Structure 1
Amino acid sequence: MRFLVFCVVMAFAVSGLARAGSLPDREGWQVVPTDKAFQALVEDLKAAVKADKMGLITQASASAGAKGRGLTIPGNMVIGVYRNDYAVRMLEASVAAGIEAPIRFYVTDNGDGTATLSWKMPSFVFAPYMDEGGEALAELATELDLMFLSIAEGAVAAK
């Protein structure tokens, strides 16, 4: 079963969701350039999080903070996503892994009217805790990989 889920995750990654955009390829990340404007992608991501019944736990934007100081920098928004049932399972498997929650999406303005959606795959985020968390944490990470891919697909596909 775990192998089947891994195959599904990899199929999504290879299908075009994992192409390089304004951020260079890096290990464990998914980087999805879009034709959407920055603010539209932020709003579509928030809607996709809600549609997948996840919680929008945090959001932070250096560009919004800079604007408040009279500076203009390319748009960026970090959105932390999680849900309590996942948090409980994560902590049952590894208390140390709790530092990683919520897991974040990153929306960046490409400077050409388009934006990129990026995130670290949950299985990558939790990799340092696998010895402690064992099979329970590995299963949770795989479920979250699929959840984050679903959220990303929803955000990118929204019109």
Structure 2
Amino acid sequence: MRALWAAICLLAMPAWADSIEPLAGWAVYPSGKSYESLVEDTKAAVKENGLIVVTQAGPTKAAASRGITIPGNRVIGAFNNDYAVRVLETSTNAMIEAPIRFYVTEEKDGTATLSYKTPSFVFAPYTDEGGEALREIAAELDAKFQAVAERAVK
């Protein structure tokens, strides 16, 4: 009976994975903010920097509805129509990557981290087709995504 009770208690504990580690092509911004605050501040910073929140997805609420507690986890896709048109002028294939995503993750200490793959990294596989124009778009988006991240974690 004790083993069963221990197993039930373990299932009720949050499932914490490791923190986001910078991978090649990633930008990672730890913050002192709560998960909920960083999600809202990221969405506001996206708008402030001339982009649009195109998509949002995360397993946290759906898991909770199933009785499973997991850390806050949200993917926020950002782009705008101007960039979409410009990317399509250089490479139809590259548009599969839009919107480019921010990733907000809750840490064990209650703070949250904002991370993303840099747009230049995301579009790199398409630069043979898209050429210098696509590289320039990616560089513009690199600056915008950095500005969003710096504003959001501030």
Higher Cα radius of gyration: 2
Distance 1:68 1:132 in 2: 45
Runs of 4+ residues over 2 Å off in structure 1:
none
**Preserved contact between residue 22 and residue 33 of structure 1 (Cα < 8 Å):** no
Residue identity over aligned pairs, in percent, reads: 60
Match of 1:60 among 57, 62, 72: 57
Q: Superposition pairs for residues 24-35 of structure 1, below 5 Å?
A: 24-35=21-32
- What is the one-letter code of the residue matched to 1:82? F
Match of 2:133 among 132, 136, 139: 136
User: Deviations 1:83-122 (Å, cap 9, x if unpaired)?
Assistant: 0000000011000001000000000000211000000000
Match of 1:73 among 70, 74, 77: 70
Would you say how many aligned residue pairs link Structure 1 and Structure 2?
137
User: Deviations 1:22-69 (Å, cap 9, x if unpaired)?
Assistant: 211200000111111000000100111111121000000111211121
Structure 1 residue 112 and structure 2 residue 104: aligned? no
Shift of residue 143, structure 1, vs aligned partner: 0.2
**Corresponding residue number in structure 2 for 1:47:** 44
Distance 1:115 1:108 in 2: 5
Q: Superposition pairs for residues 78-89 of structure 1, below 5 Å?
A: 78-89=75-86
**Corresponding residue number in structure 2 for 1:155:** 152
Distance 2:97 2:130 in 1: 13
> Does the residue aligned with 1:126 lie in a helix, a strand or coil?
helix
**Preserved contact between residue 59 and residue 77 of structure 1 (Cα < 8 Å):** yes
Please provide the CA RMSD for this pair.
Answer: 1.0
Structure 1, unaligned runs of 5 or more: 1-20
Structure 1 residue 146 and structure 2 residue 147: aligned? no
Structure 2, unaligned runs of 5 or more: 1-17
> Does the residue aligned with 1:66 lie in a helix, a strand or coil?
helix
**Preserved contact between residue 97 and residue 126 of structure 1 (Cα < 8 Å):** yes
